[in-house]
Amino acid sequence: MSRSAFPAVLPASPCAPAYERAAAVLPSLRITEETPRHGEGWLRGDALAAGGEALERFLAWEGEQAVRSHGRPARPDVVASFALHRYAWPAGVLFTLPYFLLRRVPRIGLADVSFHPEAGRMTVRSVSFSCLPDDPAAGHPRARVVADEEELRAVVRREAADHLGPVLAAFGPVMRRRARALWGMATDELTEGLWYLGSLLGEEERARTEANLLLPGSTAPYAGGAAFRDLAGPSGERLTTRDRVSCCMYYTLRPQDTCVTCPRVCDEERVARLSGGAPRRDS
């Protein structure tokens, strides 16, 4: 049996309650605090960012999922886009959900994360965390106290960018996308991860507000912003949507089933799908 079968479970960090809440409402994503794993389907974040065999193995697996789900192979750039989403969406949650629920932002390097795409598992080892002065955890030995809410939002953006940047750079050549498109994808992953989990937690409106504050559209290196907007439903009800900054390329396999936030989807179709309770396909 390999060493990865004997994970070292770490003492719960001040951010652990947020990850437990995520698992409670989204069982398909389980985030646990452990030392990073490797082998037996596990991929470390730093290995993905380095490219090479780990990235190739991940892309090969993702390509197999496309064939299994759609009955035909996807283009290499589409496979890479799906794979990046599969990692970046939960990786973004590592930062946005503790901020949203606890007003704590962990510092998590790529070497501190391992990911099992098939099992929907992610392990995390937090080095330190930032919080506000009135947080009960402000006296924790690994706490970094910041002045106010705006500074804490800046920490979310910085920590997420530090983590995702090398991963975007590794995927970029395969996806055939340049920096702006890649950071647009990061913007979408952070926004829609928070939006989706906020809705599952019964706090969708607050999640939209927080996402707009986190990503107002003028915070480099992120491209674009959360940019939520409202549409009127058939009975005048408010339907919330946004236009993705990037394209997930799902239309190349099933053009009839695109994300409702895709810029290709007109407002009339969005109203029909949202008022009918159709899934957003943005998670």
Give the span between the Cα atoms of 110 and 90, in whole angstroms.
13
Query: What residues are paired with 250 via a beta bridge?
Result: none
Predicted confidence at residue 152, as pLDDT, reads: 98
pLDDT at 6 over 50: no
Q: What percent of the chain lies above the pLDDT cut of 70?
A: 94
Note the helical H segments in the chain.
16-25, 45-50, 52-70, 76-102, 149-175, 179-200, 204-214, 267-275
Predicted confidence at residue 264, as pLDDT, reads: 84
Residue 39 CB neighbour total at 10 angstroms? 12
Query: What residues are paired with 143 via a beta bridge?
Result: 129
The SS3 assignment for 229 reads strand
> pLDDT per residue over 166-208, tens digit each?
999 999 999 988 899 999 999 999 999 999 999 999 999 999 9
Give the span between the Cα atoms of 214 and 209, in whole angstroms.
9
Residue 57 CB neighbour total at 10 angstroms? 14
Structure confidence at residue 9 as a pLDDT band (50, 70, 90): low
Q: Which residues contact 1 (CB under 8 A, 6 or more apart)?
A: none
pLDDT at 74 over 90: yes
pLDDT at 239 over 60: yes
pLDDT at 258 over 90: no
Find the range with the poorest average confidence among 58-62, 68-72, 86-90: 68-72
> Can you give the pTM of this predicted structure?
0.92
Q: Determine the angle formed by the axes of helices 179-200 and 16-25, rounding to 10 degrees.
A: 70
> pLDDT per residue over 86-119, tens digit each?
999 999 999 999 999 999 999 999 999 999 999 9
Q: Tell me how far the alpha carbon of residue 242 is from its chain's centroid.
A: 16
Q: Which residues contact 268 (CB under 8 A, 6 or more apart)?
A: none
Predicted confidence at residue 38, as pLDDT, reads: 87
User: 75-104: b or e for each residue (b if 16 or more CB lie within 10 Å)?
Assistant: eebbbbbbbbbbbbbbbbbbbbbbbbbbbb
